Amino acid sequence: MNGIHDLGGMHGMGPVNPETDEPVFHADWERRVFALMMAIPGSVYNIDEFRHTIERMEAAEYLSTSYYEHWLHCLEVLMIEKGQFERAELEAAWSNAASAANGSA
Amino acid sequence: MNGIHDMGGMHGMGPINPEIDEPVFHADWERRMFALWTAAFAAGMYNDNEFRFAIESRSAEEYLSESYYQHWLVCMEKVLIDKGQFTRADLEAVWANAPGTGASGGGAGSGQALPADQVIPVFMGGASARIDADVAPKFKAGDAVVARNINPAGHTRLPRYLRGKGGTIEKDHGVFGFPDSMAHGEGETPQHVYCVRFDAREVWGESAPARDSFYVDMWDDYLDPA
Amino acid sequence: MVERGQRCKRVRIMPALAADMVVPLFAVGSSARVDADIAPKFKAGDTVTARNINPTGHTRLPRYLRGKSGTIEKDHGVFGLPDSMAHGGGETPQHVYCVRFSAREVWGASAAPRDSFYVDMWDDYLDPA
Amino acid sequence: MADHDHTEPPSDTALRVKALESLLLEKGLVEADTLDAIIQLYEHNVGPQNGAKVVARAWSDPDYKARLLADATPAIAELGYGGVQGEDMVVVENTSDVHNLLVCTLCSCYPWPVLGLPPVWYKAAPYRARAVSEPRAVLKEFGVEIREGVEVRVWDSTAELRYMVLPERPAGTEGLGEDELAALVTRDSMIGVALVEST
């Protein structure tokens, strides 16, 4: 698709900002997202399905979210599309996580 | 520039959502914004190519997440500061006092404000962008041309999806100023503008409908003989 | 976004990856090569043009190279085609080549005269020039 | 469309990830200690130190360098490196006449076994957009001035081949052993956005 991901030659994307002594991950949730994607058996999805799920992100969202947020979006959408869980189950997990966080706070 | 505004052929931009009984403006600030912009434009404070380039220069993320009149607001602020009509400090002072008198004073003020009684004659009269200059055309109707593969970082009205594609001159529209120079204070560079016909298959490949086509206005400097 | 009807039946093909398999599995990986006896359409030195395709689905042919001509540098062998693999369309195995495009061909006369791009391209992305 | 109003995901990303993890664990798709092992592997064990050793060996052993440039995957495996996102490797050599630069304009392809996971800038829009339209300007921002007569080759990783740059060996390193050489080689030099300095 002629999507926002196809960035080769685009102007106006701003300067490249290399980070000095960049860590491999910037937050613990990035570690978890990376590991989750890697741990899911390869028979569930292939790399092109993975890439295309990210390419289908809404363009402004694609540009305003970070790399591992793309992966998180991809995990949620692709696993539902692949029938691994239902949207309702994901929403239940969100509210459980929220109450757990409130309880421990 | 190969910016986010150059959307011809992009996928993934979502559905077209027409609004039933859409009003002309959706908020009072939009009304004010439209009037401010047109009044300042009529007063000659900037040309439309300069303003377009300011919009194109928003970051892609801003461009996609801001509304249309938000583009106008932030770009009008920027263009008027760039043109010396007021300073960033003037603007910030107004923000700090908002809603204040709006009179920050001290601007360069090169433009003449448009009086209210001139609105009807000015806007009903309009002003053609044609230039009365005796410039020879490079092409004539029927000529086969190729849109140049240019990729300037500045303003251009040659969309990416047509670069390198072959078409046919349908009509010579006459002489106009050249956006690529007018956006950057480099003069009018007057030249002919043509209506050029491009086959859909030339543009998008064999999967496009066989008889469909695009008619796009192109300046002499955008074209080579095929 | 996910719509109803796009859902596939949940398939469990293999058990979850066990922790003690992480190092051995990741150290080996799995090549995307496809073991299929398919004739290449091009050979090193051939001049080719990247096709002007604009699919709404997934493709690995970037826009900035469509319609541009280049030279086959190397045949990498046989791989699956992303354009079909992303959509459950099977592997459509075919040769992948490293293709050289000059910077001027891609970006026009203002590009540096000797610079170039080396981009991997599937047989289905290419026509003879 | 769904038959009920969608709940918005938590705005706190960490919370949203926790929710997803709990769901995938519950479904038996992943195991908790596997996740820890994967994080350990890519945060601490695999990284540009591997690629640096490949480069140092190539600088020290002409036969190895020839094997590396001819068929990189087995040559890299000689040093014990390989695996996911490096199954089919190509190594391209910088010389006094040619400077190579790697990018993935479409996503984030990168040779994990030799360089680890890519830095944020490599995956972000500015680099992906500009590495092909103005590679020399990008190189200059990274502090690499390309002379007029030098050819710049940009490698855009569209397929499942993974690339690594073999940087030029700096002058003044003639007496150094492989370990000392490897210590000079940076991640950026193997992407092609830096040169290797002798100090």
| Long-range pairs of B29-37 with CB within 8 A, sequence gap ≥ 24 | B29/B69, B30/B69, B33/B69, B33/B72, B33/B73, B33/B76, B34/B69, B34/B72, B36/B76, B37/B72, B37/B76
Residue C13 pLDDT level (bands cut at 50, 70, 90): low
Q: What is the mean pLDDT of chain C?
A: 89
Q: Averaged over B91-116, what is the pLDDT?
A: 64
Residue B14 pLDDT level (bands cut at 50, 70, 90): confident
Please check whether residue B65 touches A, CB under 8 A.
Answer: yes
- What total of structural domains would you count in chain A? 1
> Cα–Cα distance between C79 and C33 in angstroms, integer?
5
B28-125 CATH pick, 3.90.1150.10, 3.40.50.1110, 1.10.472.20, 1.10.3720.10: 1.10.472.20
Q: Averaged over B191-202, what is the pLDDT?
A: 94
Beta strand segments in chain B, E? 144-147, 166-176, 191-199, 213-219, 223-225
Q: What is the mean pLDDT of chain D?
A: 93
Residue from D130, D139, D157, D162 to probe the interface with A (highest A Cβ count within 10 Å)? D130
Determine the angle formed by the axes of helices B88-97 and B68-82, rounding to 10 degrees: 130
Residues 6 or more apart whose Cβ sits within 8 Å of residue D134: none
Give pLDDT, residue B111.
Answer: 54
Residues 6 or more apart whose Cβ sits within 8 Å of residue D122: D103, D104, D108, D110, D191
Give pLDDT, residue D167.
Answer: 98
A53 touches A70 (CB < 8 A): no
User: Thinking of the domain C33-128, which architecture would CATH place it in?
Assistant: Roll (2.30)
Map residue C62 onto helix, strand or coil: coil
Q: Is the pLDDT of residue D89 over 80?
A: yes
Cβ–Cβ gap A43/C107 under 8 Å: no
For the stretch B36-80, pLDDT in tens is: 888 888 878 888 888 889 999 999 999 999 999 999 999 999 998
3-state secondary structure chain A: CCCCCCCCCCCCCCCCCCCCCCCCCCCHHHHHHHHHHHHCCCCCCCHHHHHHHHHCCCHHHHHHCCHHHHHHHHHHHHHHHCCCCCHHHHHHHHHHHHHHHHHHC
ipTM: 0.84
Assigned domain for A21 exists: no
Residue C14 pLDDT level (bands cut at 50, 70, 90): low
CATH number of the CATH domain containing A44: 1.10.472.20
Q: Is the pLDDT of residue D166 over 50?
A: yes
The dihedral over CA atoms of B167, B172, B175, B177, expressed in degrees to the nearest 10, equals -30
Smallest Cα–Cα separation from A74: which of C107, C2, D179, D189? Answer: C2
**Choosing from D104, D133, D157, D189, which is the catalytic residue?**
D104
Is residue D133 annotated as part of the catalytic site, yes or no?
no
Contacts of B151 in chain C (CB under 8 A): 107-108, 110
Contacts of B57 in chain A (CB under 8 A): 12
List the single range of B90-104, C78-92, D23-37, D159-173 with lowest mean pLDDT.
B90-104
CA of C7 vs chain A CAs: smallest distance (Å): 4
Q: By CA distance, what is A84's nearest residue in C? A: C10
CA of C54 vs chain A CAs: smallest distance (Å): 7
List the single range of B125-139, B181-195, C96-110, D5-19 with lowest mean pLDDT.
D5-19
> Cα–Cα distance between B82 and B108 in angstroms, integer?
11
Better pLDDT: C101 or B49? C101
β-pairing, D162-166 vs B191-199, is unpaired
Per-position b or e across C80-97, b if 16+ CB within 10 A of its CB: bbbbbbbeeeeebbbbbb
Please check whether residue C54 touches D, CB under 8 A.
Answer: no
> Cα–Cα distance between C72 and A59 in angstroms, integer?
34
Handedness of CA B195, B198, B199, B200 (dihedral sign): negative
- Chunk chain A into consecutive blocks of 10 residues (it has 105) and report each block's average pLDDT, rounded to whole numbers: 92 92 96 95 89 94 95 96 95 94 74
**Choosing from D22, D107, D133, D198, which is the catalytic residue?**
D107
Handedness of CA A91, A95, A96, A97 (dihedral sign): positive
Interface of D with C in 21-80 (CB under 8 A): 28-31, 33-34, 36-38, 41
Which pair of tokens denotes residue A2?
Answer: 């002629």
Give the chains touching D; criterion: ≥3 Cβ pairs < 8 Å.
A, B, C
Give pLDDT, residue D4.
Answer: 53
Q: Averaged over C101-112, what is the pLDDT?
A: 95
> Cα–Cα distance between C71 and C64 in angstroms, integer?
16
Better pLDDT: D10 or C35? C35
For chain B, give every domain's residue range: 28-125, 144-225
Contacts of C63 in chain B (CB under 8 A): 160
Q: Which domains does chain D have, with CATH numbers?
A: 13-44 (no CATH), 47-191 (3.90.330.10)
Q: Is the pLDDT of residue B112 over 80?
A: no
Please check whether residue B151 touches D, CB under 8 A.
Answer: yes
Interface of C with A in 30-69 (CB under 8 A): 30, 32, 54-59, 62-65
In the numeric block, the tokens 């996910």 are attached to: C2
Q: Is the pLDDT of residue C5 over 80?
A: no
List the single range of B84-98, C84-98, D28-42, D91-105 with lowest mean pLDDT.
B84-98
CA of A81 vs chain D CAs: smallest distance (Å): 13
Residues 6 or more apart whose Cβ sits within 8 Å of residue D66: none
Q: Averaged over C9-31, what is the pLDDT?
A: 79
Q: Give the type of residue at B53.
A: F
Nearest by CB: B12 against A13, A59, A64 = A59
Assigned domain for A52 exists: yes
Nearest by CB: B61 against A2, A57, A63 = A63
Per-position b or e across D163-189, b if 16+ CB within 10 A of its CB: bbbbbbbbeebeebebeebbebbbbbb
Q: Give the type of residue at A92.
A: A
> Cα–Cα distance between C113 and C103 in angstroms, integer?
7
How many C-alpha atoms does D192 have within 13 Å on its Cβ side?
A: 28
Q: What are phi and psi of D109, to 5 degrees?
A: -60, 140
Q: By CA distance, what is D130's nearest residue in B? A: B2
**CA-angle at C64, arms to C60 and C68, nearest 5°:** 100
Assigned domain for A48 exists: yes
Q: Is the pLDDT of residue C12 over 60?
A: no
Cβ–Cβ gap C107/B149 under 8 Å: yes
> What is the residue-wise DSSP string for B87-121?
-HHHHHHHHHH-SS----------SPPPPGGGHHH
Q: Averaged over D100-128, what is the pLDDT?
A: 94
B81 touches B91 (CB < 8 A): yes
Q: Is the pLDDT of residue D31 over 70?
A: yes
Map residue C119 onto helix, strand or coil: strand
Q: Give the type of residue at D47.
A: G
Residue C10 pLDDT level (bands cut at 50, 70, 90): low
Please check whether residue C2 touches A, CB under 8 A.
Answer: yes
Residues 6 or more apart whose Cβ sits within 8 Å of residue C9: A83
Cis amide bond preceding B99, omega within 30: yes
User: Thinking of the domain B144-225, which architecture would CATH place it in?
Assistant: Roll (2.30)
Contacts of C26 in chain D (CB under 8 A): 38, 41, 83-84
Cβ neighbourhood burial of D2 (10 Å; 0-12, 13-18, 19+)? exposed
Beta strand segments in D47-166, E? 89-93, 98-103, 151-156, 162-166
Cβ–Cβ gap C54/B149 under 8 Å: no
Q: Averaged over B129-156, what is the pLDDT?
A: 94
Nearest by CB: D161 against C3, C117, C120 = C120
Q: Averaged over C96-125, what is the pLDDT?
A: 96
Q: By CA distance, what is C62's nearest residue in D? A: D106
Contacts of B7 in chain C (CB under 8 A): none
CA of A58 vs chain B CAs: smallest distance (Å): 7
Characterise A68 by phi-psi region: left (phi > 0), alpha (psi -120 to 50), beta (else).
Answer: alpha
Please check whether residue C117 touches B, CB under 8 A.
Answer: no
Handedness of CA B137, B215, C51, D138 (dihedral sign): positive
Domain enclosing residue A66, as ranges: 28-104
Contacts of D133 in chain B (CB under 8 A): 2, 151
Residue B98 pLDDT level (bands cut at 50, 70, 90): low
Give pLDDT, residue B102.
Answer: 45
